[in-house]
Structure 1
Amino acid sequence: MPVDPHISEAIGRPDLIRLDDGVVCLRFETMKVVSALAAVRHLLSTGAVRPGDTLLDSSSGIYAHALALACHRYGLRCHIVGSTTVDRTLRAQLRILGARLEQMEPTPDLKLDQRRRVARIREILAEHPEYHWMRQYHDDIHCLGYRAVADRVHESCGGRPLTLVGGVGSGASTAGLARRLRERTSGVRLVGVQPFGSVTFGAEQVPDPEIIIAGIGSSIPFGNVDHTLYDTVHWVGFTAARAGSVALLRDHAVFAGLSTGAAHLAARWERGLAPDRTVVFIAPDTGHRYVDAVFADAPIGDPSFADADADPVPPPAYAPHEAAGPDDLVMPWTRLEWNRACAPPEGDGTAERHLATASRPL
């Protein structure tokens, strides 16, 4: 067994776990370590940054940890503008790793939180033009690290047609995996998972008052999201995603976050619609951040999701509404055949790509 030169290499290495015949969980401890490491290596190899430089970005949590680890690995400084949702555990790790964290003040509106972070990034770049903005939402170098992961998925799950299910978020993980898988084999379907209220696929008109899965959606357009990659989109609300997370732990002993619960729910449904396909869903992080909100008081015998030995399709209480279009979304779960269409109006990322380009340090 090879010895890793740094903990980030081990943390970024995913596990492939077969849950049932045809359903596989691609489980990460911290997924964005994969993209941060590859992005930083690329920047160093091209001379865009040098050891000792400061890397700057905004994060709701997972990417902050990933970038701090990458900077620790390669001798760079790290400055994070963090969401109000960054918890005490992560704050302690960032501080000891040497990363500087500016955390937004608490707000009941995560959309406001996200916009505040973008505004603060612009202020910091004006004060420190020598900083390098990582632009995780805009720069496709964050897709690079997922190519090797896709190769492993292909080698481990080859044989049957493949469906990949994952939270969309910044767009990097699903894009990096899907593009590489489609290079290796034909017939790969990509299913994106979104929270209600996200603008990415035009769901901002349906807010979820209990949303705490902002990491898979956005209140602003992201330039890295290539809408034409996605065959299907699932919007999953908090209550449905929670049921998916609880079922994953109860039935398969996989302790993962709320976005994983949403992807698990969608993956089960897609598997039921196409039994001839292998469905791989992405679990981007562990469930530790969600203990109080999701797991602590969850009923063990939650009937809202099928048991492992039963029909893998969730019961009617959590069957998705099949939408005719983005204007036909219904809580707590809606499915839409996207058919690799272009971005919806106001969701093409043009404004944010302009911001990224205009604010990029030379």
Structure 2
Amino acid sequence: MDDHVADAIGRPDLIRLHENLVCLRFESMKVVSADAAVRHLLDTGAVRPGDTLVDSSSGIYAYALALACHRHGMRCHIVGSTTVDESVRTQLAVLGARLEQMEPSTDLKLDQDRRVRRIHRILGENPRYHWMRQYHDDIHYLGYRAVAERIAREFDPAALTIVGGVGSGASTGALARYLRRGDDGAALVGVQPFGSVTFGSEHVTDPDIIIAGIGSSIPFDNVDHELYDVVHWVGFTAALAGSVDLLRRHATFAGLSSGAAYLAARWERLRDTRRTVLFVAPDTGHRYVDSVFTRHAEAVDVAELAPTDVSGTDELDLPWCRMAWNRMHAPQSAAA
């Protein structure tokens, strides 16, 4: 029996979609990383019960940190993106978390820069607050150790390919680190939106959206680029097709970044049928009903989509590109 709802929400499901295609489905993925990070800070004495934890979030991490603070008797202060929706705002309020939401902006970089500047002002006014630094502190890797151990009990890591959104690097990066402890044969495929600096696509603009949560317009310290074997850049229309097909074909209702990861995983599975391909679905599709699923009639058949293989980021273009990263170091634009 679980001691707190965070355990139930953070525990993923392993769903076999095909013989060698598996979905690692979370209700809300960042719950595991936020809870483990807060527990570690308490265990090491970096914070004490009753302290205030502060961070910036586009929504999912805000909810995860609020749950962790509820569980461990902490206060929570969130500087939220313009994308935080009414459902998350309401839950944060009831959980006792304080939310400061930025003014609407169509420029993700401006939104992220404003949030970071606000965090620094809050810390200047409240020096005892602890900044969780979800994009910079690799303590957020800790929560994925148990997830990786569960995966390793089900599959041979040496014959496994992990596919998922990069984001802060804490989820896919952590899974690869833990799965490679005994053998570095586990392959890691990162999924990025166009317009993200993390793997050098900032010069390509997606006119529809930059997929929140898997890309960034500012450098992230805790992305370990040398963990990644392959990178896929997926535009909005391709990701929409993936999300709709994942629901239509496999009855799995997941978010837009899940659709992008599913699309990339299908392709990697076709390239090497000897390996099991596991993709990460970090959240459910509820917050994408209006922007994605009500547009299901617009979705193209995923069988008609294929990535353009590129040898350098200067060749990137919509709607979908793939590049062998070969565990290279970070591009200059992503150096924090």
Partner of 2:108: 110
Partner of 1:304: 301
Question: 1:212: how far off?
Answer: 4.5
| Counterpart check, 1:158 vs 2:156 | yes
Q: Cα 1:263–1:74, aligned 2, differ >3 Å: closer, same or farther?
A: same
Partner of 1:291: 289
For 2:214, which of 176, 195, 216 is the aligned residue?
A: 216
Q: Secondary structure at the match of 1:298?
A: helix
Question: 1:248: how far off?
Answer: 0.2
Structure 2: distance between partners of 1:336 and 1:183: 25
Question: 1:243: how far off?
Answer: 0.2
Structure 1: distance between partners of 2:183 and 2:280: 19
Asked if the contact 1:160–1:278 (Cα under 8 Å) also holds between the matched residues in 2, the reply is: no
Partner of 2:327: 340
Question: 1:157: how far off?
Answer: 2.0
TM-score by length of 2: 0.98
Structure 1: distance between partners of 2:65 and 2:300: 39
Structure 1: distance between partners of 2:55 and 2:66: 11
Partner of 2:11: 13
Q: How does 1:245-264 map to 2 (within 5 A)?
A: 245-264=243-262
Partner of 2:312: 325
Asked if the contact 2:243–2:259 (Cα under 8 Å) also holds between the matched residues in 1, the reply is: yes
Structure 2: distance between partners of 1:54 and 1:41: 14
Give CA deviations for 1:185-234 in whole Å, capped at 9, x if unaligned.
34111000000000001100001121151210000000000100000000
Give CA deviations for 1:133-162 in whole Å, capped at 9, x if unaligned.
000011100000101100111111238700
Structure 1: distance between partners of 2:80 and 2:255: 19
For 1:64, which of 62, 65, 71 is the aligned residue?
A: 62
Gaps of 5+ in 1: 306-313, 350-362
Q: Cα 1:159–1:128, aligned 2, differ >3 Å: closer, same or farther?
A: closer
For 2:280, which of 279, 282, 296 is the aligned residue?
A: 282
Structure 1: distance between partners of 2:265 and 2:20: 10
Q: Residue type matched to 1:83 in 2? A: S
Range moving further from structure 2, 89-98 or 151-160: 151-160
Structure 2: distance between partners of 1:169 and 1:265: 17
Partner of 1:354: none
Partner of 1:98: 96
Partner of 1:33: 31
Give CA deviations for 1:40-80 in whole Å, capped at 9, x if unaligned.
00000001001100000000010000000000000000000
Asked if the contact 1:154–1:184 (Cα under 8 Å) also holds between the matched residues in 2, the reply is: no
Q: Secondary structure at the match of 1:19?
A: strand
Question: 1:108: how far off?
Answer: 1.2
Asked if the contact 2:157–2:186 (Cα under 8 Å) also holds between the matched residues in 1, the reply is: no
Partner of 1:183: 181
Structure 2: distance between partners of 1:36 and 1:44: 12
Structure 2: distance between partners of 1:148 and 1:163: 18
Asked if the contact 1:110–1:214 (Cα under 8 Å) also holds between the matched residues in 2, the reply is: no
Partner of 1:192: 190
Give CA deviations for 1:305-345 in whole Å, capped at 9, x if unaligned.
1xxxxxxxx33xx1101011011101000000001100111
Partner of 1:46: 44
Asked if the contact 1:160–1:276 (Cα under 8 Å) also holds between the matched residues in 2, the reply is: no
For 1:174, which of 137, 151, 172 is the aligned residue?
A: 172
For 2:233, which of 221, 232, 235 is the aligned residue?
A: 235
Partner of 1:311: none
How many equivalent residue pairs?
Answer: 336
Q: Secondary structure at the match of 2:290?
A: helix
Identity across matched positions, percent: 69
Partner of 1:360: none
Question: 1:260: how far off?
Answer: 0.2
Question: 1:299: how far off?
Answer: 1.9
Q: Secondary structure at the match of 2:94?
A: helix
Q: Secondary structure at the match of 2:31?
A: helix
Structure 2: distance between partners of 1:21 and 1:170: 30
Q: Secondary structure at the match of 1:214?
A: coil
Q: Cα 1:303–1:240, aligned 2, differ >3 Å: closer, same or farther?
A: closer
Structure 2: distance between partners of 1:267 and 1:149: 19
